[in-house]
Structure 1
Amino acid sequence: MRLALPGRPGRPALSLRWDPRTAAVCAALLLAAAATGVWTLTTGDFRIPVPDVLRVLAGDGNPAYAYIVEELRLPRLLTALLTGAALGLSGALFQSVARNPLGSPDVIGFTVGSATGALVALLVLGAGAASVAAGSVAGCAVTSAAVYLLAWRRGAAAFRLVLVGIGVSALLSSANAYLIAKASFTDAQSAQVWLTGSLNGRGWQHVTTMAAALAVLAPAALLLGRPLRMLEMGEDTASALGVRTERAKAGALVTGVGLTALATAVAGPVPFVALVAPQVARRLTRSPGPGLLPSAVLGALVLAVSDITAQRMLAPTQLPVGVLTGVVGGCYLVWVLARQWRAGLG
């Protein structure tokens, strides 16, 4: 089913595709995210019953409970959900442009470039938190521009983007290792924790950053859904259907870079969420196209579940969330490769 909003004669200004299965999957994922939120807000070293959490959220709760929920647990939960949504959405954009499941920002070097910018600001310039975030955004932007230009030859072909991105990622990983090796022990330790991807100590300022990023960039990404769905049929076919292919790809890359850079600035280079969420979302919805909304919701769920698991698995020791997402992503990659190998033998 489709909903078309008025535009020029014969061409709607906006066309939205309604798929009942996709809607059901998104609803189920949102319910799972809500259950994860309840689990996160009630569980910890100090357990709080669900009715008391609801009273706090309604503005009429015990002051001690209110401090724990509103200052410690809720900002971290919202940061996880918003950051996961941004990573899932950016992964769907990049994989759609590359037409390759490996075309996620953490594989083709954009996340690593963002980390390089942050490390330069932190370890070389000795900058504060705001400058580290700016360095992260700048590093991601410079890396994406370099990958796009190096892959350009009468257009940026999908396979060249992936190959060039993997090479740039390897180079920047070596640069990051060098920066950490040359830093003092204290700085290197804090930088290494950040490079793993962590939500420890996240507050309302991080929630505000990610909420503003999604408010601006998520609508832009959704508007690109139709041209990206055409692009997945091939550039020649998309051009014949009236899609400006290079313009659509550039728009998707700019939007994805913004989402990736800000997510990395807030939580560090959390691995594999951008890789796994779009692919699992496609398998759940069985719908053609990039599947932007399901990918965002699934990314939010994956990061929120990974974070609460990292907090409670070895309590009172808290693991960085990147450790859990790395395990999940690694297992997923092994499963996909084994499945394709068996299918090839069959």
Structure 2
Amino acid sequence: MAGARASLGGMTTTVFTPLGSAGPGRFRVAVCAATIAACVPYLVLKIAWLSGSTVGWNDAAAARGSALAVGNAVTMGMDAVAVGAALAFTFAWGRRLPAWLVVVPIWFGTGLLAPIVLGVPLGTVLQALIDGTAPVRGSAGGLQGWVYAMVYGGFTCQGLGLLTAFVPYARLRWADVFALRTADVPRGATHAVQAFLAHAAAVPTLAYAALQLVWACGGTAGQPAGEGMNITQRTVAGAYGLLALAGAAGLLAIVHRRGGRLYVPVLAAWTGAGATFAWSLYMLIITVGTPDFLDARSTPLTGLALLCGVLGGLVTGLAGAFFLAERQSARPTASSTP
């Protein structure tokens, strides 16, 4: 709550208003606008492809197909959700939305964008310095190089913008997560379930992370003979692996009440589980649904790793949901708060 002093008939009183009711401020509005602007090129490109255009494609035949059309429609919808999330994080009406309607999309979105933000810019710089080449030479899956630069550049800006908008939103809506120390959080009725899920999730998560880190270090296990990753792809694989480890470690720290401020392991578990689940699910769907588009670059070991990522990320997210729901129910209601 925020207080404002007013004089009534010679008496001074304090009038309390809801925190953030004065408006989002110019900076937050600017962040919202920049995030939406970063979504526009991707949305326009997807609309063009769904309308039959082959702009950005080297092979017009590869641009057509029912599975690809469904994928374009789904990813366009996901980018539209990012626009809605940016607006919800900025304006007061967003704090009145049901928690699940906010948490689920931003968890999945964080998972998709975090490895790109962490891996693509760094990998691009490293590849330019070491190899003297661009991340994409000629084409990627039949696409022209500028599509890669536009799409992943936009994703990086979206990720940074949504993060910048979400932090003040979360501090207003879930202030106790930022105020508490991990060791001070009481163990509720579902703690035993949380601990079981945390340890169960760690096994497939570690398997997924191990393969990603092998690829990041230049290994070719699970890749078709003759195939190899460039430096940018290896950097992104390293981001996948490290985020997966961070997610497992963050959840274990929460259930065992280790560490300092609660928001640190929550952030690690949130981002790591989201990245592990979202990208594994996305790539698993693409691998199963559009094998020709991927030029058969998947192997049984790759599929097994993706399945481990889906299971590990999902179970970690489920355990985190139990924890956050229990914390929410333990918070004092507005009627009992002075």
TM-score range, shorter chain: under 0.3
TM-score, L = length of structure 2: 0.28
Greater RCO between the two (CA within 8 Å, min separation 6)?
A: 1
